[in-house]
Amino acid sequence: MARQRLHTGCNALLALMAATSLCRAETPAQDDRAGHDYPTAARVEYVQECMLRNGGEVSYLYKCSCAIDWIAAKLPYDDFVEWGTFARNASLAGERGGVFRDSDQAREHTKQYRALEAEAYKTCGLQAPK
């Protein structure tokens, strides 16, 4: 009887360990994120936008979280804000959009951001952003 309880307890522990490892599989290790700490609000905003781009399903929560963690490991927050601003506004029409698309710096930052985001999406199992 005691042996059966021990066996059941070991199985439950193994199942819990397996579930924990699956949940952490898409999230970079804590050491990988050191150095480029993004504000929580920025991470949440990115994940929400990413989820909407992918149909708004909750199943994308982990993949989109993975993407922002991957970007944060590669790019300082100030660059993320600047490059992302150029990329999001490059398609604005008229003079307003010219600031975000006409200069060499604007084109380069847009290109770098889109390439980085595409790599993050690929790494995290998402389709490339449009």
DSSP 3-state assignment of 54? coil
Asked if 67 contacts 126 with a C-beta cutoff of 8 angstroms, the reply is: yes
Domain boundaries, the chain: 2-123
In this predicted model, what pLDDT tens digit does every residue of 97-118 receive, in sequence order? Answer: 655 556 777 788 889 999 999 9
Give mean pLDDT, residues 63-77.
96
pLDDT over 90 percentage in the chain: 45
> Where does the chain show beta strands of DSSP type E?
none
- Residue 10 is predicted with a pLDDT of 44
User: Of all helices (H) and strands (E), which one includes residue 108?
Assistant: helix 104-123
Asked if 6 contacts 12 with a C-beta cutoff of 8 angstroms, the reply is: no
| Pairwise pLDDT comparison (121 vs 92), residue with the higher score | 121
Asked if 100 contacts 89 with a C-beta cutoff of 8 angstroms, the reply is: yes
